[in-house]
Amino acid sequence: MSHAFCAELEARLVRYVQVETTSDEASSTAPSTAAQVDLQRMLEHELHQIGAQDVLLAENGFLYATLPATTTKTVPRVALLAHVDTVAGVGEGPVKPRVHRRYDGAPIVFPDDELLVLMPEINPYLGKKLGHDIITASGGTLLGADDKAGVAILMTLARHLLAHPELAHGELRLCFTPDEEIGVGIRHIDLSRLAADFAYTLDGGEVGEIVYETFSADKATVSITGVSTHPGRAKAKLVNALQLAGRIMTALPHTHLTPETTDARQGFLHLYKLEGAAAACTMHFILRDFEEEKLAEYARLLESVCADVRTSEPRARIVCRITPQYRNMRDRLQQDMRPVTYAVDVLKAMGIAPLSPPIRGGVDGSQLTAMGVPTPNLFTGMQNIHSPLEWISVQDMETAVKALIALVQRWAQ
Ligand SMILES: [Zn+2]
């Protein structure tokens, strides 16, 4: 029996992207914007309709649901997650999705911005999607396939699994999360409510992606307190904190070990903010690498530069503080690679080459993995995210649904 999910996926994505769900970094509430709850309410209703169990929309904007086990075997509990928010700052106004049916390879134009054009010459992946149904926005906004494609894929999967109890899988947990784009959402997840041994986020790009390597990340602040006096009577008394910050900056590498001089598996030490005045100032750094030992090396380098400046100007107070942010999930996953190997097995059986590019950033899965739930990130098909040129192939989303149907059964074998 063959299943076609394209019509359902298209209808869901088109419906979900029209609900505005931008998250807001400046907000101090959880979720950061009430608009995200509008989509969560819609999903809550749809989950009830398809017969999901334990549907719960929490105060903090997380939506949880259960797909009961269809096997009597003891099987690890797997959670599937997607985020409902979209990134701020890309255009304004409602998203107007457009479906380009049976794509013929011609440049795609956007009615709301004549200067925009999407074409295979610049986006080679689009060139591989001839005959697919491509969804874009209208030019004035992003599409929001990041991550409403993940939401549509999971809702389609859930509807299908609930209608087909003959497909043997363990208990599955669904979780739709807010505020991924501002990096704070996942911290508020209720792990006892998620109740999962392993998880996957559906928030990746091209077909085949199984991401389980990300940066390890620390941040560092260097607080410099000088000695302030009236500048007219400052000789041999004033110690200018900004001068000292300049010396620290100059002593750090600038032809290597910076974001603008590194790529692939190279890490960096990045001064991203300097604030303050002559009396006192603070330098803000991020440290990134795929290897924790390297990260520790960058911290020692920064500390030794601070120590040199401190020695040369003992009247100043220079304090360097390193704070861990997240860790490469590979290190944790290597203890139990099943979430990755099962996904690889499933893709290979479908004739799809698995891709595991190391990600020069963090994902929600990095934090979930650090919290004890190993969580690789799987493809949805989304492309050109955080841009008005964002697009997705409906057939790529269908491949994701089919891969997940096989994957949940693989866990039950
Ligand atoms: Zn995303």
pLDDT digits (tens, 9 = 90+) for 71-106: 999 999 999 999 999 999 998 889 999 999 999 999
92 Cβ contact list (under 8 Å, min separation 6): 140, 141
Within-domain flag for 48: yes
Residue 242 has pLDDT above 70, yes or no: yes
| 54 shares a domain with 190 | yes
**Average pLDDT, stretch 217-224?**
96
| 26 shares a domain with 106 | yes
| 302 shares a domain with 203 | no
> In this predicted model, what pLDDT tens digit does every residue of 325-356 receive, in sequence order?
888 999 999 999 999 999 999 999 999 999 99
Q: How far is the CA of 51 from the centre of ligand 1 (A)?
A: 27
| 148 shares a domain with 288 | no
> In this predicted model, what pLDDT tens digit does every residue of 124-149 receive, in sequence order?
999 999 999 999 999 999 999 999 99
Q: How far is the CA of 147 from the centre of ligand 1 (A)?
A: 5
What is the model's pLDDT at position 3?
55
Q: How far is the CA of 89 from the centre of ligand 1 (A)?
A: 15
Q: How far is the CA of 90 from the centre of ligand 1 (A)?
A: 14
| 266 shares a domain with 387 | no
What is the model's pLDDT at position 287?
97
Q: How far is the CA of 326 from the centre of ligand 1 (A)?
A: 17
> In this predicted model, what pLDDT tens digit does every residue of 259-294 receive, in sequence order?
999 999 999 999 999 999 999 999 999 999 999 999
| 144 shares a domain with 221 | no
CATH number, residue 304: 3.30.70.360
233 Cβ contact list (under 8 Å, min separation 6): none
| 241 shares a domain with 148 | no
Q: How far is the CA of 317 from the centre of ligand 1 (A)?
A: 41
pTM: 0.88
| 150 shares a domain with 57 | yes
By C-alpha distance, which of 302, 176, 325 is closest to 248? 302
Residue 34 has pLDDT above 60, yes or no: yes
Q: How many domains does the chain have?
A: 2
Q: How far is the CA of 83 from the centre of ligand 1 (A)?
A: 7
Phi, psi of 294 (to 5 degrees): -65, -40
Within-domain flag for 17: yes
What is the model's pLDDT at position 362?
82
Q: Which residues are catalytic?
A: 85, 180
| 368 shares a domain with 227 | no
Within-domain flag for 283: yes
Q: How far is the CA of 375 from the centre of ligand 1 (A)?
A: 14
| 187 shares a domain with 278 | no
| 76 shares a domain with 149 | yes
Q: How far is the CA of 202 from the centre of ligand 1 (A)?
A: 8
| 180 shares a domain with 38 | yes
User: Contact 113/139 with Cβ under 8 angstroms?
Assistant: yes
Q: Answer with the one of 284, 304, 325 that is the final residue of a domain.
A: 325
Within-domain flag for 1: no
Q: Answer with the one of 259, 293, 325 that is the final residue of a domain.
A: 325
Within-domain flag for 287: yes
Q: Answer with the one of 325, 340, 360 that is the final residue of a domain.
A: 325
CATH number, residue 100: 3.40.630.10
Within-domain flag for 282: yes
What is the model's pLDDT at position 2?
44
**Average pLDDT, stretch 385-398?**
97
Instruction: Give the domain range for residue 71.
Output: 6-213+328-411
Residue 1 has pLDDT above 70, yes or no: no
